[in-house]
């Protein structure tokens, strides 16, 4: 029998030469050593690939407290003592609050943030106003402003704070220069102060991830609450203080054209009738949108219906 690993073969009963036996063992030892080196090299190469792949994954995934993700921005990370509380006209930002303040994008396209911790309870004194207000956190000092917008385009309303979703940056309106100026800030709460006392204080940022059990609640948030429907005047422009719906109702005996506006975009509504006819239409509208109904009014009206999640 011959084998490429064994240079010498021996016949049963014949004397074997020592040098030939030793040569066989040396050949086997060399092949074993060669295989060992090859196997070790393959294992090291595989481990290197696994470590490289694992490193790439670690750079993209979030850890258990969401601290290393490249996806989260403009949000609350931790709130061990709550977010805000109100007393009279003062809103207190609670200590221990940790937030991501939007700061644009990194070179690789991931979002860039300023991580900021509130080290002590911080009071913000608000003033009486008919506008909806917002509370913001900034490394330069916390404060309040009117309105809060989160959208890609510059808001129609010239007031408040605007989070530009395309740029991942925050702006505050400067009434003196009539410009939106950049500010390192994050809005954390919305409130009303129409009589000198803060009411309707709501956290403006998600502080936990959504689960499948939340879906029914989320669906209900977007439904209209008809018992809270309020009338609006014809030929007047309003700003939506909540997400909701605009309900238009008209009665006419002739064709009557009227114009409904949302953020200065015109929707022509022609109440068509033959005889006495009732007509109605409903528009969804979000917080901060401006709207109004103009034209010849016969009978009917305009109403705002808030969403359940806004009450």
DSSP per-residue string spanning 39-57: HHHHHHHHHHHHHHHHHHH
Exposed / middle / buried, residue 97 (Cβ in 10 Å: 0-12, 13-18, 19+): buried
Q: Sign of dihedral through CA atoms 183, 185, 191, 197? A: negative
Q: For residues 161 and 74, what is the distance between their CA atoms, to the nearest angstrom?
A: 13
pLDDT of residue 255: 63
**Residue ranges for the chain with pLDDT beneath 50:** 1, 57, 59-67
CB atoms within 10 A of CB 246: 22
DSSP conformation class of 309: G
pLDDT of residue 297: 65
* Domains of the chain, earliest start first: 1-58 (no CATH), 75-209 (no CATH), 222-310 (2.60.120.260)
What is the C-alpha R_g of the chain?
Answer: 35
- Phi, psi (5° rounding) for residue 120? -150, 160
pLDDT of residue 139: 92
CB atoms within 10 A of CB 111: 17
DSSP-derived 3-state class of residue 212: helix
DSSP-derived 3-state class of residue 228: helix
**What are the b/e assignments for 208-221, b being 16+ CB within 10 Å?**
eeeeeeeeeeeeee
Continuous segment of H or E residues that includes residue 84: strand 84-87
DSSP conformation class of 214: G
First vs last Cα of the chain: how many Å apart?
91
CB atoms within 10 A of CB 273: 17
* Measured CA angle at 77 (ends 74, 79), to 5 deg: 120
Q: Which of 192, 194, 177, 137 is nearest to 161 (CA)?
A: 137
Q: Sign of dihedral through CA atoms 7, 13, 18, 19? A: negative
Q: For residues 199 and 193, what is the distance between their CA atoms, to the nearest angstrom?
A: 6
Instruction: Name the residue with tokens 């390192």.
Output: 184
pTM of the model: 0.50
pLDDT of residue 64: 45
Q: For residues 242 and 264, what is the distance between their CA atoms, to the nearest angstrom?
A: 18
DSSP-derived 3-state class of residue 242: coil
Q: Sign of dihedral through CA atoms 25, 27, 30, 36? A: negative
Q: Which of 97, 100, 102, 135 is nearest to 117 (CA)?
A: 97
């Amino acid at each position: 029998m011959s084998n490429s690993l064994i240079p010498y073969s021996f016949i049963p009963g014949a004397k074997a030469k020592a040098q030939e036996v030793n040569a066989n063992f040396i050949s086997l030892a060399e092949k074993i050593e060669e295989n060992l080196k090859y196997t070790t090299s393959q294992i090291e190469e595989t481990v290197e690939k696994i470590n490289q792949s694992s490193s790439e994954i670690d750079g993209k995934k979030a850890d258990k407290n969401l601290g290393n993700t490249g996806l989260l921005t403009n949000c609350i990370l931790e709130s061990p003592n709550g977010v805000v509380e109100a007393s009279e006209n003062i809103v207190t930002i609670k200590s221990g609050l940790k937030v991501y303040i939007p700061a644009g994008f990194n070179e690789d396209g991931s979002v860039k943030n300023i991580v900021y911790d509130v080290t002590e309870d911080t009071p913000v004194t608000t003033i009486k106003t008919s506008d909806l207000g917002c509370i913001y956190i900034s490394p330069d000092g916390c404060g309040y402003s009117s309105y809060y917008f989160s959208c890609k385009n510059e808001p129609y309303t010239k007031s408040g704070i605007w989070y530009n979703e395309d740029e991942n940056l925050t702006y505050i309106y400067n009434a003196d220069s009539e410009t939106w100026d950049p500010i390192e800030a994050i809005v954390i709460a919305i409130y009303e102060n129409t009589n000198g006392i803060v009411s309707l204080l709501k956290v403006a940022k998600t502080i936990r991830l959504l689960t499948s059990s939340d879906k029914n609640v989320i669906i209900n948030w977007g439904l209209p609450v008809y018992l809270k429907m309020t009338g609006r005047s014809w030929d007047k422009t309003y700003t939506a203080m909540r997400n909701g719906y605009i309900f238009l109702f008209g009665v006419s005996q002739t064709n009557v054209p009227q114009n409904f506006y949302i953020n200065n975009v015109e929707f022509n509504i022609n109440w068509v009738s033959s005889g006495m006819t009732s007509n109605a239409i409903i528009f969804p509208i979000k917080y901060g949108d401006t709207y109004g109904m103009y034209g010849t009014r016969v009978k009917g009206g305009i109403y705002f219906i808030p969403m359940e999640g806004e009450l």
